Amino acid sequence: MAYRVGVDIGGTFIDFCVFDTATQELSTLKVLTTPADPGAEVIEGMRRLSEIYGIDPAAVESFIHGTTVGVNTVIQRKGAKMALFTTANFSDVLEVARLRMPESYSLFSTRPEPLITRDRVFGLKERILADGSVQTPLEADSVRDALDRAQARGVEGVIVSLLHGWRNPAHEEQVAAILRQEAPDLFVFTSHEIWPVIREYERTSTAIINGYVHPRVAAYLGSLQAALKESGVTAEPLVTKSNGGVMSAELGKTSCVNMVLSGTASGVIGGAFVARSCGVDNAITLDIGGTSADVAVVIDGAPQYGMGEKIGEFPLYIPSVSVTSIGDGGGSIARVDEFGVLKVGPESAGSDPGPACYGQGGDRPTITDAFAACGFLGHHALAYDSVSLDIDKARETVGLLAATIGRGVEETAEAIIQVAVSGMYMEINKLTARYGIDLRDFALVTFGGAGPMLGCFLAKELQMRQVVIPTTPGVTSALGGLVADIRNDFVKTVFAAADDAIGTIPADFEELSARALDWLHSEQHHAGTHTLHPSADLRYTGQSFEIEVPLDPDWLVNGDLAAILDAFHRRHDEVYAFSDTDAEVQIMNLRLVVAGTIEKPTLKPLPHADGPADPVRDIEVWFGGKHITVPLYERDRLHAGQTLAGPAVIAQSDTTSCIPDGFTGTVDTHGNIILAWQEGS
């Protein structure tokens, strides 16, 4: 008997999803996080899994972990104090950036202060030209002088990003060698080893984020490794990556930028897996935890990827699952602003003290408290008995807000829910505009501890006709770790006219393929299959930015320029509604994604039963401005083929699902609830 364990740490809970490879059973668990003692929640979780389900830690063959420590480090600006070494006279790269303001139409908009301030940026005497030739050799004394000045400012590490380092990394390598010899106590990262692409700001910014989160990520992963050993797990832990794949925790200590969006990517991968299992090709995944709501688009069964995803105030220029984060989670705090307007989030109660109804010292109303005050919660053990709900405390804190705005407790609680839904509605509309999609053709896959509470209310506002509630929605992000492939991205900047570059394209593709397979081998992926997904960034000469175009490997091996250009013209027409087949085309970057396939869990079918599901009892909730009586269902009593209709409440150990009127649902083979909404209801 062997187990595969997926783990996701959110703002309030750490989620466990365990797959028994022999019985094909899924076991799930939630444990409150311990921010002050990283790793303690893992030990506690493994102890409880052993106690509740009889899971032997020594029998764990893989442990896949998603975490938000990287993104939280950037958002909270609690990263390393670093210096940046760049080419002399190019020390303003972070201030100049892309000359864009965060809010184009605001007279008061300002750009965020860089993660490395100007007093810790030092120019070195050297110069490599755009073609890779050396104009000015590196002066070692300038490196030592910059190091002395950096150390005088108390830096913990150095980022080296020199002009045209993507084309010729020789000087960056020389600088790194000097620094490691002269100051072995400092960590050093070079831009070409992190993400070797053209454009100085993007390459520099990506390397800086990698260094900024490095100490905290490395310390956290070290604590995780120690905690697993202490709990009896011998398997080397894997961590989920921003691109939806996984890599070893040991590699994650240095390749930190690749796991900055680790936790959010896990949720999207898990949501896409659930959608495919339900036969849903196009979906919006809605992952609502304690702190935020993360939204992503799945088209033809595959999550959408992009670059330039925002990490706090900064863009991340590596391929990652495209996720929009909204500051509305179950722990988001409701308040009245100075103008008397009810607001929700982005401040969250987190796990300490948590929502007021958790009875752990929280004294400000949250979204979870609003649902408790409306009567939706408190009818089933919450979070596997990790917390005991105090409904009176929830009503008390919501009541304080109610007194401020002159409404009743239930009215105020429902208003909190409506404000939260309104904020998500606006952000999801922005997302759909970006992709040019019609939400009526998409299903909403809602999960996370608070996702099924809010999901149907949001779907109704968005006029989405279908909602999917996974079998274990509270731990779907942890399930995402179990189904994620080993995946990595490779890039080589070409920056040449397509006619000139095509002669070297076959060799470039062969080089990227060799690097990809070597990496896959280093990650111990010896069994199973792998796939290669090449693409290229192309543009018409004179354009400022390029678009990524998926390519057939045979086109690259054979140097089939006509096929490559035809694919670009078609893609350009899809994006911009025009193309120019007579214009010169430039190839900026050649990209390659390697994916080592991991065996996916085969979920056991649920026992079948026809007809309506039987509620355990009726409960009273506040809905639509009045008290109504609705049926309460327990999730573990539902069988495949059974039906139900809203308004209703479905309780289970990891979450509570709130079904408004107008929805009718069916339980599918694997226990997912497929809800249909009738427009006009």
- Take residue 93 and report the two structure tokens written for it: 């790269």
Identity of the amino acid at 168: N
CB count, 10 Å around CB of 525? 20
Contacts of 113 (CB under 8 A, 6+ apart): none
Same domain, 167 and 79: yes
- Exposure string (b/e) for 69-86, b if CB count within 10 Å is 16 or more? bbbbbbeeeebbbbbbbb
Is 70 exceeded by the pLDDT of residue 571?
yes
- For residues 19-32, average pLDDT: 84
Strands 13-20 and 3-9: antiparallel
654, 472 Cβ separation under 8 angstroms: yes
The residue among 31, 138, 10 whose CA lies nearest residue 654 is 31
Of the ranges 297-311, 350-364, 453-467, the best mean pLDDT one: 453-467
pLDDT at 383: 66
Same domain, 94 and 196: yes
Kindly state whether residue 670 falls inside one of the protein's structural domains.
no
> Domain total for the chain?
3
Same domain, 212 and 247: no
Same domain, 168 and 197: yes
More confident call, 378 vs 560: 560
Same domain, 85 and 60: no
End position of a domain, from candidates 596, 627, 642: 596
Of the ranges 44-48, 62-66, 369-373, the best mean pLDDT one: 369-373
- For residues 78-106, average pLDDT: 87
Same domain, 111 and 211: yes
What is the DSSP-derived secondary structure letter of residue 542? T
Alpha-carbon gap, residue 477 to 35, rounded angstroms: 19
End position of a domain, from candidates 163, 184, 216: 216
More confident call, 354 vs 635: 635
Same domain, 84 and 187: yes
391, 664 Cβ separation under 8 angstroms: no
Dmax (CA) of the chain: 81
More confident call, 54 vs 309: 54
Same domain, 110 and 147: yes
Same domain, 186 and 83: yes
The residue among 9, 1, 109 whose CA lies nearest residue 57 is 1
pLDDT at 389: 87
Same domain, 185 and 245: no
Span of 3-17, 304-318, 561-575 with lowest mean pLDDT: 304-318
The pTM for the full model equals 0.84
Alpha-carbon gap, residue 533 to 483, rounded angstroms: 19
CB count, 10 Å around CB of 87? 22
Same domain, 185 and 108: yes
Kindly state whether residue 601 falls inside one of the protein's structural domains.
no
**CATH number of the domain where residue 42 is located:** 3.30.420.40
- Take residue 248 and report the two structure tokens written for it: 């070893």
pLDDT at 499: 94
Is 90 exceeded by the pLDDT of residue 545?
no
State phi, psi for 584 to the nearest 5 degrees: -75, 140
- For residues 281-309, average pLDDT: 87
- 1 pLDDT tier (thresholds 50, 70, 90): low
Structural domain boundaries, residue 242: 3-73+236-259
Q: H/E element holding 408?
A: none
pLDDT at 444: 97
What string of DSSP letters covers 368-415? HHHHHHTTSSSSS-BGGGTB---HHHHHHHHHHHHHHHT--HHHHHHH
Kindly state whether residue 398 falls inside one of the protein's structural domains.
no
- For residues 61-68, average pLDDT: 87
Same domain, 105 and 168: yes
pLDDT at 524: 61
Kindly state whether residue 350 falls inside one of the protein's structural domains.
no
- 527 pLDDT tier (thresholds 50, 70, 90): low
The mean pLDDT value of the chain amounts to 90
Tens of pLDDT along 434-448?
Answer: 777 889 899 999 998
Kindly state whether residue 176 falls inside one of the protein's structural domains.
yes
What string of DSSP letters covers 655-669? -EEEE-TTEEEEE-T
Kindly state whether residue 192 falls inside one of the protein's structural domains.
yes
- 371 pLDDT tier (thresholds 50, 70, 90): very high
Is 60 exceeded by the pLDDT of residue 526?
no
What string of DSSP letters covers 117-129? -GGGEEEES-EE-
Alpha-carbon gap, residue 88 to 141, rounded angstroms: 13
Is 90 exceeded by the pLDDT of residue 557?
yes
The alpha carbons of the chain give a radius of gyration, in whole angstroms, of 26
Kindly state whether residue 333 falls inside one of the protein's structural domains.
no
Kindly state whether residue 559 falls inside one of the protein's structural domains.
yes
Is 70 exceeded by the pLDDT of residue 11?
no
